[in-house]
Amino acid sequence: MDLHKILREIAFYSTGITVAFVVAGLSLILMGHDILKGYYTLFFTSFSSLSGISLTILKFIPLLLMSLGFAIPLMARKYNVGVEGQFLLGAIGAVTVAFSLSSLPGPILITLILTGGVIFGAAWALIPALMLYKFNVNEIISTILLNFISFYLVDYIATGPWRDVFAGHPMTLPIPDQGILPLIIQNPQINMGFILALLFPFLAYLYVYRTVRGYELRAVGANPRASMIFGINTNYIAPLSLIIGGMLSGLAGSIEVAGLHYRLIEGMHSNYGSLSILIALICKGNPIGVILTSFFISVIEIGASGMQRTMGVPVELIFIVEALILLFILMADVVKARKK
């Protein structure tokens, strides 16, 4: 791709993002708020204090991994809407390992906790993958239904034998101290999960663009029929991509337990699922693009909380902005295609 095409793509997408924030600014004015103060709060709350930086990183870690969990199947034209459920199963796997093997020393226990999250997430994704492979069941339907089951599984475990009876909200007892991810920076507090999360987009890039399986994945997404004619097992590639997505989302869940909450909590998934899908769609599944987009969304999510706290602006306004960003980027794609 030459420089002219790159600059044109940047111009198209920058215009879409700018229009989304102009609409947000007009909404702030109509609600009687100071637009400059609103924008400043939105973009700089994350960097105005050490706690803001820490909160942004903690939001960034699961969004990055779950976005990858959606992005890789997206390359095969499969929509892993179940990233939220796989995240929760990863969290369940983490607490299960932590409570079952609590006598193990820290490094071993942490490794097994993260591995447990990956295995549980992959196992949860294996269900729609097998249904797709054996019976051609649409993965959107199966993963959405499994999301609901995962919500109830978390509720059951959080109110079951591992419940913290002294907590006012359904949650388990805390995991052992030696199972908590160590901090790589003390102030702001950033745990080892940050390094792990940053590692996987580059591994995903190498897998997708530098391996035979990655080539087959992209080929199936570009043209399934032609791929089949040239000998690629299209029935196998798409389900495999869902399992990889489940592994990444499950890892996100285990990091959330071992690095932030230290327990399983009802509702701990927040709005990670919808945001991660939004991020993957905005950057069109590009593993490297997921890094910047996830960080940007994390910044405005923390900024939205700051706006709500200091200015009384409804946090739902930012949900509208995020949806508009995707909408205008899709519109930019249409305009760009018509100009070719």
pLDDT, averaged per 10 consecutive residues of the chain (340 residues), comes to 66 81 89 91 93 96 98 96 98 98 97 99 98 96 98 95 92 97 92 97 96 94 91 91 98 98 93 94 91 95 92 86 82 70
Q: What is the pLDDT of residue 77?
A: 94
Please tell me the distance from the alpha carbon of residue 279 to that of residue 173, in angstroms, as a whole number: 33
> CB of 87 within 8 A of CB of 272?
yes
How many alpha carbons lie under 13 Å from residue 274 in its C-beta half-sphere? 8
Please tell me the distance from the alpha carbon of residue 283 to that of residue 211, in angstroms, as a whole number: 21
3-state SS, 33-55, equals CCHHHHHHHHHHHHHCCHHHHHH
Q: The tokens 């995962």 sit on which residue?
A: 150
Domain ranges of the chain: 52-300
Spell out the CATH class of 52-300.
Answer: mainly alpha
Bond before 161 cis per omega within 30 degrees: no
Q: What is the pLDDT of residue 3?
A: 65
pTM value is 0.94
Please tell me the distance from the alpha carbon of residue 331 to that of residue 59, in angstroms, as a whole number: 28
Please tell me the distance from the alpha carbon of residue 192 to that of residue 169, in angstroms, as a whole number: 27
Please tell me the distance from the alpha carbon of residue 184 to that of residue 190, in angstroms, as a whole number: 6
> CB of 250 within 8 A of CB of 87?
yes
Q: Hey, is 188 helix, strand or coil? A: coil
Tens-digit pLDDT profile for residues 175-212: 999 999 999 999 888 999 999 999 999 999 999 999 99
